[in-house]
Amino acid sequence: MTTNDAGRIPSAAGGAELAALYRLLTWLSPAFPIGGFSYSSGLEWAVEAGDICDAAALRGWLATMLTDGSGFCDAAFLVHAHRATELDDIKRLSEVAELAAAFVPSRERQLETAAQGRAFIEIARSAWSCAGLDEAVAQCDVVVYPVAVGMVGALHGVPLEPLLHGFLHALVSNWISAGSRLVPLGQTDSQRVLAALEPVVVATADRSLHASLDDIGSATFRADLASLRHETQYTRLFRS
């Protein structure tokens, strides 16, 4: 299928859901060129420090990041960005984008989310053009990754819930991909971790759907320190 002139999903019966699915699978695929493979969100330091040494430890670390850390925060920012864009509330979108950019614990996490957000917007402009994108982006100083996904998803008419679940799945998959290279883990163990985290992803998505901007916050001191310590780690494969 191809996008129509305005970029929004055609509303013909049956076509809308399939078009949304097509775009979701594309945007949140590891092959979508935003460079996700080069970031570990501090996992690289956690592995070197011995905090993560096997599949069980990786699962526990990621469950905490999802529930109490950047996973929940990013999910909630995606939700608010999607809703503000859908309502064409540019002022609100700008506020969400500004808060999301401030909600990172370290310079490398800032690089990670800002660079991916920028890349996501650029590719959306180039290959998945849609009406309103330039205007929305122009209102934001920085568009970090979850805000970019929420904004573009809304402009394309992709429903919020599948977008949110797809985003969290992509986030966790990318973390596991980093972990599998660092620990290292086999393919089967990696899939076991992904399967085990499914209920955590579902719960995080549900909580973020109902979270106000004031509810957003993280309490992952050690994971935050991991992303800080990564800046001075001697040997590094990843940019964060």
Partner 1 sequence: MRSPLQSCSASEGRAVEAALSVDHAGGRSVLRRQNVGYPLHVTRGFHLDAARPDLLTLYLQSASGGLYAGDRIALDVSVARDAAFHLTTQAATVVHDGRGIGALQRQTITVDSGAFCAITTDPYVLFPGAELALDTVATVADDAVLCVADGFAVHDPRASGRAFSEFSGRLRVLRPDGHLLLHDAGRVSGDELHGALGPFAAAANLIIVAPPDRLPSVKSLQQAADGCGALAGASRAPNDAGLVLRILAPDGGTLSRATDAAFHVAAAAALGVTLSRRRK
Task: Figure out which of the listed residues 41, 70, 106, 180 binds partner 1, where binding follows CB under 8 A.
Answer: 106
Q: Name the residue type at position 152.
A: V
d(CA 191, CA 131): 38
Nearest to 223 by CA among 74, 36, 68: 68
- Count the alpha carbons within 13 Å of 215 in the hemisphere toward its beta carbon: 15
User: What is the rounded radius of gyration, in angstroms, for the C-alpha atoms of the chain?
Assistant: 17
Task: Figure out which of the listed residues 162, 228, 236, 239 binds partner 1, where binding follows CB under 8 A.
Answer: 228
| 68 makes contact with partner 1 (CB under 8 A) | yes
Closer residue to partner 1 in complex, CB, 28/66: 66
Task: With contacts defined by CB under 8 A, name the span among 89-97, 102-110, 179-187, 189-197 that binds partner 1.
Answer: 102-110
Tell me the CA end-to-end span of the chain in Å, nearest whole number: 36
| 44 makes contact with partner 1 (CB under 8 A) | no
| 224 makes contact with partner 1 (CB under 8 A) | yes
d(CA 213, CA 166): 21
Task: With contacts defined by CB under 8 A, name the span among 144-152, 153-161, 173-181, 229-237 that binds partner 1.
Answer: 229-237
φ/ψ bin of 140: left (φ > 0), alpha (ψ from -120 to 50), beta (otherwise) = beta
Closer residue to partner 1 in complex, CB, 116/218: 218
Q: Give the binding site for partner 1 (CB under 8 A).
A: 68, 102, 105-108, 110, 217, 219-222, 224-229, 231-232
